[in-house]
Structure 1
Amino acid sequence: MKKKSWMLLLTLVLVIGTVLAGCGSANETTTTEPGTTTETGTTEGTATEPAADANLAADQTLHLNLSAEPPTLDPAQAQDSQANTALRFMYEGLATIDADGNPAPGAAEKWDISEDGLTYTFNMRQGATWSNGDPVTANDFVFAWERALSPETVPAPVYAYQLYYIKGAEEFNTGKTKDFSTVGVKAVDENTLEVTLTNPTPYFLGLTSFYTFYPVHQATVEGNEAWAADASTMVTNGPFTLTTWTTGSEMGWTKNEKYWDAANIKLTNVTASIVNSGATETASYQGGEIDYAGAPTGEIPTDQIQPLSQQFADEFKLTDIASTYYYEFNTKEKPFNNVKIRKAFAMAIDRQSLIDNVTKAGQTPAYGFVPTSIAGLNNQSFRDEHPDSEYFKEDAAQAKTMLEEGMKEEGYTTLPPITLLYNTSENHQKLALAVADMWKTNLGVEIETKNEEWSVFLESRKTGNFQIARAGWSADYNDPMTYMDMFVSGGGNNNTGYADPAYDALIDGAYKGGNDPEKRMQDMAAAEKMLIQDNMVIMPVYYYTQASLTKPYLKGVTTDFSGAINFTRAYLEQQ
């Protein structure tokens, strides 16, 4: 590969190793130049250097609230923002993401990247151990990645496709080969991990900080099928260990003294209540019971955003993030098997009115899937280069006509009963009711709204037990691919039933397009047009902002461009 092409693509693609929880939400890094060695130090760094010990509070216990209980703490099975927050306390990937959004050494203390960008050689950190004292080795990553890809893993990990960048990973995951030795991941020895990719992927290094890439302790996993459901049976390699887990009530973490960077971990304990009420969470913050409130761990009620921003002017923060709020259609369920009916529903709402009167957090109306902060070419936003305003327009009269045409095609005189599904949340409920009212006013359609608890809701979407469902997606890395590859045929996070070989071909072309960044972006823009303008598989609503409250004595908290939060290097100053 020409070095010039690599440098152009490296300039374009800034990556993070988390999400949302991509990840689905309940409520940037750069890579190194090919052919170089990276060893950027032994600590991850924080937004603010830890204060001198004299300024630290005597009690270094951080108090939080989670608006939903993580459905799992198994990194291979995780798929949401709540699990992402919890797992960050407990695990560490080969790389971590520092406060500036750059990949930094984690479980690997350095790495080499071959000239062609296909082979990564990671040197494991000497002295890094599991919480039980066992050394963290290259074999731990091989075992974890094989488990995430294995067709025999039950339930099937929805994020297995994030490992498809590795040579042979897709073939092994889909059962085309049963020999894991054909997959491009190998423990050369206990201290050296070699990873071979199918195509040059400049953001791969950042992906190694994502939870699907975390190692797991083999003896623990193989010895107990329920190992990830009990705090007492988890062996982890991160800054904290889970010590308390009372289902539906509380979770608690304690500093892991065996963590390689324990000297730079100031918090001794983290406690998180599990309360699915934004009003209760906000009241707890006002009463001094928790130190942080709001997204992504919880939520601030929409009707309190303005007064709280005034009352706590120095503690309130509202930021744009790389995340999209949308409704997804089950294209296999009537009446949404008809594209004209799907388009009618998307055209029949007033997004700006919803933002002004319901969500009230300065979001941007969305007509596409890729948010405004995701990078495109030449340091431009992908969204600026490919305006979503071209995909469709809000037009109640045209929507009514479109609905009538779709009903005629399906032989309907009236639509069958329709239910809009959302996960339990005051804010989701308010929006669902407002959207349903717009559909009734503009289309004459009665909609039932239904809420489900987070884990049940995720299962309903995964199994296709819905007609329309609320969804949110946060970037796993700063590239349009983190959005567009969701909807390939049979994709682990594709709940819509949509399958189109033409769409798959565009995504495949973008995967392989490392030598031609311009064509790569064009392929993803064409895929987004197909997803929304042509087929309206999903109904975009808005691009997120994130509202939060942070006590002035809580320092060192970092939030990346996707909205994912990291408390591991936080600390509490004296009040």
Structure 2
Amino acid sequence: MVYDGPFKMTGWTGTNLSWTLARNKNYWDKSHVKLDKINFKVNKSTTTSYNLYQSKKLDQTILSTEQAKQLSNDPGYTIVKEARTNYLEFNQTKKEFQNKKIRQAIGYAIDRDQLAKKVMGSGTLPSKSVVSSGLVQKDGTGFTTAAKTTVGVTLNKKKAAPLWKEGLQELGESGMTITLLGDDTDAAKKITEFIQSKLEANLPGIKVEVANVPFKTRLARAEKGQFELLANVWSADFSDAISFLDLFTTGNPYNNGKWSNAEYDKLIKVSKMTDAGNADKRWDDMVKSYKLINEEQPIVPLFQLNTQSLLRTNVKGVVHNTAGVSYNWKEAYIAK
């Protein structure tokens, strides 16, 4: 591979759980790069990672909700806001999820506040939109505020149960068993277990089976459409609402659920072409598209995860980016 940044990746095979960023000797500004290499290691258990941190085999570790509560006063405790939204995605090739009332009922049956604050922990925000909060604003108003709606992003048991009942009647069913596909990390298991409990508690006749699998397996199944309900996540590539909204256009490779809506496609296309040079019209196009996707509910926004971690106090110069590449290590260094 060709690299033009301060580091180049080595030791990555596509499936392994460890790799290295090695200093790029051909980088144009190499004199300002302090570190020779940065070693990465993936641990599915935050307990394992924390133990490695404690034994000084790691300089940074991600914290679970419980760990963060206990370690919030640690000198190395940090919390960073991410332009990342976790959401549920319906497989639109399945008859039951082509029913709008079924999708909306599931959206109304989930308590995002409890999921964000009790399950995920401090700093995590309940989603009001698939577009992450704080990503972009216009004239001082954030996109999620401009496009504010309660449809599809709030708990409402009084609406959930009747919609569910009506949807089942339209399908000619008295109940439904669905499988929720998610990752097999500690955090992912807590999310899927929470969703399972809330849907079974608030929607009469539903049974949710959970399948927690390794990330690579989950990704492969999602790409092939081998799921019913998918616990998915997306991080913005850049600071613009279109980084999220474009995902759900017809034919987009990341539109795992295969949702298709001509009006939505038109709004996104106009925002990217016809109105690309008019900031006001482009903004309005995206607001309209967002409200449409919330109404149709091909996805269920859950929460915006803000990462809590421990970073050794002698690690300096690390820059965190809300969107795009999470960390900039160019000028990072170890203080003596």
User: TM over 0.5, yes or no?
Assistant: yes
Q: Describe the shift of the 1:516–1:351 C-alpha distance in structure 2 as closer, same or farther (beyond 3 A).
A: same
The match for 2:44 among 271, 276, 298 is 276
SS at match of 1:293: strand
Q: CA deviation at 1:475?
A: 1.4
Instruction: Provide, for residues 209-240 of structure 1, a one-character-per-residue CA deviation record: whole Å limited to 9, x for no partner.
Output: xxxxxxxxxxxxxxxxxxxxxxxxx4534333
Q: Per-residue displacement from partner, 1:449-503 (whole Å, max 9, x unpaired)?
A: 1112111211111111111111111211111111111111101211111111111
Equivalent of residue 6 in structure 2, options 227, 236, 239? 239
Question: Once the 2 structures are TM-superposed, how far is the Cα of residue 390 of structure 1 from its aligned partner?
Answer: 5.3
Aligned with 2:16: secondary structure?
Answer: coil
> Paired residue for 1:571?
333
Instruction: Quote the residue 1:462 is aligned against.
Output: 223
Aligned residue number for residue 374 of structure 1:
135
How far, CA to CA, are the matches of 2:123 and 2:43 in structure 1? 25
User: Could you say which residue in structure 1 is the equivalent of 2:24?
Assistant: 256
Q: Unaligned stretches of 5+ in structure 2? A: none
Residues 322 and 374 in structure 1, CA contact (< 8 A), matched pair in contact too: yes
1:429 is matched with which residue: 189, 196, 202? 189
Q: Which amino acid aligns with 2:71?
A: L
| Separation (CA, whole Å) in 2 of partners of 1:242 and 1:541 | 33
**Relative to 1, partners in 2 of residues 1:489 and 1:425: Cα closer, same or farther, differing over 3 Å?**
same
Q: Alpha-carbon deviation of 1:365?
A: 1.6
Give the deviation of 1:357 after TM superposition: 2.1
Which of residues 70, 76, 85 is equivalent to 1:307? 70
Fraction of identical pairs, as percent: 28
Query: How many angstroms apart in 2 are the aligned matches of 1:558 and 1:392?
Result: 32
Other structure's SS at 1:332 match: coil
| AA matched with 1:365 | P
Matched, 1:518 2:286: no
2-side partners of 1:243 and 1:500: how far apart?
Answer: 42
Q: 1:365 to 1:240 in 2, by over 3 A?
A: closer
1:243 and 1:318 mapped to 2: Cα distance? 28
SS in 2 for 1:446: strand
Q: How does 1:87-98 map to 2 (within 5 A)?
A: none
Bigger relative CO (Cα 8 Å, ≥ 6 apart): 2
Residue pair 2:152, 2:300 contacting (<8 A) in 1 also? no
Q: 1:428 to 1:389 in 2, by over 3 A?
A: same
Task: Name the counterpart of 1:353.
Answer: 114
Letter aligned with residue 113 of structure 2: Q
Any residues of structure 2 matched to 1:29-108 within 5 Å, and which? none
Whole-angstrom CA distance in 2 between matches of 1:441 and 1:399: 11
How far 1:567 sits from its partner (Å)?
1.9
Per-residue deviation, 1:375: 1.9
Q: Provide the rounded CA distance (Å) in 1 between the counterparts of 2:290 and 2:23.
A: 44
Contact 2:117 2:125 in 1 (8 A): no
Q: Output aligned runs, 1:405-424, within 5 Å.
A: 405-415=166-176, 417-424=177-184
8 Å contact from structure 1 (residues 239, 255) kept in 2 = yes
2: CA distance between counterparts of 1:524 and 1:244?
41
Name the residue aligned to 1:475.
236
- 1:521-571 Cα distance to aligned partner (Å, 9 max, x none): 1111111111111x1010011122121221111111111123711223211
- Deviation of 1:391 after TM superposition, in Å, equals 5.3
Change in CA separation of 1:524 and 1:435 when aligned onto 2, cut-off 3 Å: same
Paired residue for 1:337? 98
> CA-to-partner distance for each residue in 1:130-186, whole Å, 9 max, x for gaps?
xxxxxxxxxxxxxxxxxxxxxxxxxxxxxxxxxxxxxxxxxxxxxxxxxxxxxxxxx
Q: Is the 8 A contact 1:326 1:470 kept in 2?
A: yes
Where do residues 183-202 of structure 1 align in structure 2 (5 Å cutoff)?
none
Aligned length: 332
1:527 paired with 2:289, answer yes
Closer, same or farther in 2 for the Cα pair 1:374/1:235, shift >3 Å?
closer
Bigger CA radius of gyration: 1
Rate the CA distance shift 1:366–1:281 in 2: closer, same or farther, 3 A: same
CA distance in 2, matches of 1:252, 1:538: 35
Question: What is the distance in 1 between the residues matched to 2:182 and 2:193?
Answer: 11
Structure 1 residues 440 and 308, CA gap change in structure 2 (3 angstroms): same
How is 1:385-404 mapped onto 2 (pairs within 5 angstroms)? 385-389=146-150, 393-404=154-165
Check conservation: 1:391, 1:529, Cα contact below 8 A.
no
Q: 1:236 is aligned with what amino acid?
A: Y
Q: Give the aligned CA root-mean-square deviation in angstroms.
A: 1.9
Quick check: 344-353 or 565-574, which moved more? 565-574
Shift of 1:279: 1.4
- Contact 2:153 2:301 survives alignment (8 Å): no
- Normalising to structure 1: TM-score of the pair? 0.55
Q: What TM-score does the superposition give when structure 2 sets the normalisation length?
A: 0.93
Counterpart amino acid of 1:532?
Answer: N
- For residues 275-316 of structure 1, the C-alpha deviation after alignment (integer angstroms, 9 at most, x for no partner) is 22211112212221111122xxxxx22211111112x1x211
